[in-house]
């Protein structure tokens, strides 16, 4: 039996993995039964890797050793420090992907090597390349990347019949996409897509968090420093409050012992109403609706032409989102498929189709960007080498291939500088330059020798560029790749080795060693408790008498609970000990 191609939703806040079996797509769960894995990576006190829930739990106490929302930095050349080691965004994402891969292997009891990975529809070429590289570093062949709204449409529409236009409203933790999709029997065709790569639920959390920080500063005269445990706790309670306000009109915020003010412990006790919350995020909601109208305009449709609205991403649970969409379209958005997981389910369906199983749909996606080059020409009455020549227009179905002919500008020209841009402005210098290369050794022909430039955009949205001297056939080809600098282009194997090393004998969240047979959650709790105990033992000498006595009692009780394998008791005692350490450090 051939191993299936798994589907992965690599999200800003959470990630999931799914597989298509017996005619349907299902989520894969870890050893503890969780299917939704926080996209969080950390290093514990012992230098061990934490991925998912355990990394999220560590974030409050050790934010400096925990990475969240790495997706927002994909495609950049940032370096992320974790456990004293510098990592690229691709490597941090690879830890998450490797964890999901191992979950799938444990569930399916076979080696998994291929995956379909989803990306926001509005991800740039550099961000897509970085995602592909993260998959390769994690030991996966990324057979295709598909846009998240498209994957969601597959999950919602499997088995549906008839022609209709659907609006996919995808508001996740870190990105927003809106796509207009034409569905007809077994054809899923995206006809327009737009979005914002830096708008999502994380921004909603930040607004609530800032509201609480402002309250502490203005009303309690207490400043919370960024990067501290207190700051991390406020951000986490902000996220919890957001979720509460999705179902209830009020959320109670209660955080004890954020610090000392004039020697007295300071607590946070505040109520936030849904009205307050909706006012905080009003500008973000307005922006999503502006982009909805932009997508409709690109598709040449009106609101009355939309038959269904699909909600994707956990942030669409915010009631004001549904209300505003209902006001605009005059219909209630669909939500019978869990918005947190429908993208992974759709990716698994696409994986099954690629793997040769009888498919339920033929997928036609589009590019959300215009790609082109620059050329010498007249602009605003002035000759300039930066006249933008669009070649692949925004919302063109992919895969696609476009060619244009250009000409040398002087006799005996030996080289031509090819620059590729992404954007819409007529002046190329105002667009984003995503690639550049030289075609050297031209035939030294007279001025006007033709050079053919060809752009191929594949089904994963990755751009391939070829320049050919027509008279001689001399050519130069590149795949646009801004995800790594030139110095780093040959380091994927090294990055993969580093990720392998962290997993080969490292403790990963909630994913037990099958041969050892331990339960993943218990295994994690043992390691976490031992790490807290070791830290406490190192702080005993500097503790006050009362704290020292409590610490010694808790350490002994933890040892006893570990011997009895009473992991609920271990967790309770470990949290009490961690609280004492936290207050000693503040």
Best-predicted range by mean pLDDT (20-24, 70-74, 534-538): 70-74
| Strand duo 362-366 + 187-196: pairing | parallel
Report phi then psi at 378, rounded to 5: -90, 130
170 given a catalytic annotation? yes
Evaluate whether residue 217 is within a structural domain: yes
Q: What angle do CA 361, 365, 370 make, to 5 degrees?
A: 175
Evaluate whether residue 188 is within a structural domain: no
Q: Check 16, 44, 107, 148 and give the catalytic one.
A: 148
Evaluate whether residue 476 is within a structural domain: yes
Q: Check 30, 71, 102, 157 and give the catalytic one.
A: 71
pLDDT, tens digit, for every residue of 207-224? Answer: 999 999 998 888 888 888
pLDDT average, residue stretch 562-573: 84
Evaluate whether residue 189 is within a structural domain: no
Same domain, 377 and 482: yes
Evaluate whether residue 291 is within a structural domain: no
CATH code of the domain covering residue 479: 2.60.34.10
Q: Which residues have a Cβ under 8 Å from the Cβ of 371 and sit 6 or more positions away?
A: 125, 390, 391, 392, 420, 421, 422, 434, 455, 457, 463
Same domain, 473 and 576: no
Same domain, 385 and 465: yes
Q: For residue 480, name the pLDDT band (cuts at 50, 70, 90).
A: low
Same domain, 375 and 470: yes
pLDDT average, residue stretch 382-393: 85
Within 3-150, strands assigned E span: 6-10, 14-21, 24-27, 37-38, 40-43, 49-51, 66-68, 80-82, 85-87, 114-119, 141-147
Report the pLDDT value the prediction gives residue 89, as an integer from 0 to 100.
Answer: 95
Same domain, 480 and 529: no
Q: Point out the domain boundary residue: 222, 251, 282.
A: 282
Q: Check 102, 136, 157, 170 and give the catalytic one.
A: 170
Evaluate whether residue 392 is within a structural domain: yes
pLDDT, tens digit, for every residue of 255-308? Answer: 888 888 777 788 888 999 999 999 999 999 999 999 999 999 999 999 999 998
Q: For residue 525, name the pLDDT band (cuts at 50, 70, 90).
A: low
Q: For residue 149, name the pLDDT band (cuts at 50, 70, 90).
A: confident
Report the pLDDT value the prediction gives residue 393, as an integer from 0 to 100.
Answer: 86
Report the pLDDT value the prediction gives residue 354, as an integer from 0 to 100.
Answer: 86
Same domain, 398 and 477: yes
Q: What is the DSSP string of 425-460?
A: -SBGGGSEEEEEEEEE------TT-EEEEEEEE-TT
Range of the domain at 246: 201-282
Evaluate whether residue 163 is within a structural domain: no
pLDDT, tens digit, for every residue of 308-356? Answer: 898 988 889 899 999 999 999 999 887 667 788 889 999 999 999 888 7
566 given a catalytic annotation? no
585 given a catalytic annotation? no
Q: For residue 495, name the pLDDT band (cuts at 50, 70, 90).
A: confident
9 given a catalytic annotation? yes
Percent of the chain whose pLDDT exceeds 90: 34
Evaluate whether residue 272 is within a structural domain: yes
Q: For residue 519, name the pLDDT band (cuts at 50, 70, 90).
A: very low
pTM for the structure as a whole: 0.69
Q: Point out the domain boundary residue: 265, 282, 299.
A: 282
Q: Give the number of domains in the chain.
A: 3
């Amino acid at each position: 039996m051939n191993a299936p191609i798994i589907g992965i939703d690599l999200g800003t806040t959470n990630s999931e993995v799914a597989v298509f079996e017996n005619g349907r797509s299902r989520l894969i769960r870890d050893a503890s039964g969780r299917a939704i894995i926080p996209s969080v990576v950390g290093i514990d006190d012992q230098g061990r890797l934490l991925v998912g829930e355990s990394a999220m739990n560590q974030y409050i106490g050790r934010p400096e050793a925990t990475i969240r929302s790495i997706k927002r930095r994909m495609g950049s050349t940032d370096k992320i420090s974790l456990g004293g080691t510098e990592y690229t965004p691709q490597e941090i994402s690879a830890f998450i992907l490797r964890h999901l891969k191992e979950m799938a292997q444990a569930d399916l009891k076979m080696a998994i090597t291929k995956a379909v990975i989803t990306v926001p529809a509005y991800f740039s070429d550099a961000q897509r390349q970085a995602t592909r590289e993260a998959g390769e570093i994690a030991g996966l062949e990324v057979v295709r990347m598909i846009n998240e709204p498209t994957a969601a449409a597959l999950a919602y529409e499997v088995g549906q019949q008839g022609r209709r236009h659907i609006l996919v409203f995808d508001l996740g933790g870190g990105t927003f996409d809106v796509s207009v999709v034409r569905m007809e029997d077994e054809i899923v065709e995206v006809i327009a897509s737009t979005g914002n790569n830096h708008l999502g639920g994380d921004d909603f959390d930040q607004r609530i968090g800032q509201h609480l920080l402002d309250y502490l500063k203005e009303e309690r005269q207490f400043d919370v420093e960024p990067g501290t445990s207190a700051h991390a706790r406020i951000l986490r309670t902000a996220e919890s409050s957001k979720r509460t306000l999705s179902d209830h009109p009020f959320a109670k915020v209660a955080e004890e012992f954020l610090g000392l003010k004039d020697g007295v412990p300071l607590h946070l006790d505040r109520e936030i109403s849904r009205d307050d919350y909706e006012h905080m995020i009003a500008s973000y909601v307005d922006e999503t609706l502006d982009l909805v109208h932009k997508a409709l305009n690109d598709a040449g449709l009106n609101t009355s032409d939309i038959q269904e609205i699909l909600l994707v991403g956990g942030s669409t649970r915010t009631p004001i989102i549904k209300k505003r969409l209902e006001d605009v379209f005059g219909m209630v958005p669909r939500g019978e498929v869990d918005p947190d997981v429908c993208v992974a389910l759709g990716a698994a369906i696409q994986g099954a189709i690629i793997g040769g199983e009888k498919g339920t749909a033929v997928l036609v996606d589009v590019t959300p960007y215009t790609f082109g080059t620059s050329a010498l020409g007249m602009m605003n009455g002035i000759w300039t080498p930066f006249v933008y020549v669009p070649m692949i227009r925004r919302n063109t179905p992919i895969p696609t291939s476009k060619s244009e002919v250009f000409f040398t500008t002087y006799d005996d020209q030996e080289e031509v500088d090819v620059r590729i841009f992404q954007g819409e402005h007529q002046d190329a210098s105002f667009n984003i330059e995503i690639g550049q290369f030289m075609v050297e050794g031209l035939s030294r022909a007279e001025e006007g020798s033709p050079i053919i430039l060809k752009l191929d955009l594949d089904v994963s949205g990755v751009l391939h560029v070829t320049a050919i001297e027509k008279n001689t056939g001399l050519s130069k080809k590149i795949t646009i790749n801004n995800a790594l600098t030139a110095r780093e282009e040959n380091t994927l194997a090294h990055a993969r080795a580093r990720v392998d090393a962290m997993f080969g004998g490292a403790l990963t969240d909630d994913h037990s060693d099958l041969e050892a047979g331990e339960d993943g959650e218990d295994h994690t709790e043992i390691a976490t408790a031992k790490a807290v105990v070791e830290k406490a033992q190192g702080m005993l000498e500097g503790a006050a008498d009362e704290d020292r006595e409590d610490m010694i009692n808790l350490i002994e009780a933890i040892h006893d609970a570990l011997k009895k394998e009473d992991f609920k008791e271990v967790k309770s005692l470990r949290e009490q000990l961690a609280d004492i350490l936290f207050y000693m450090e503040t």
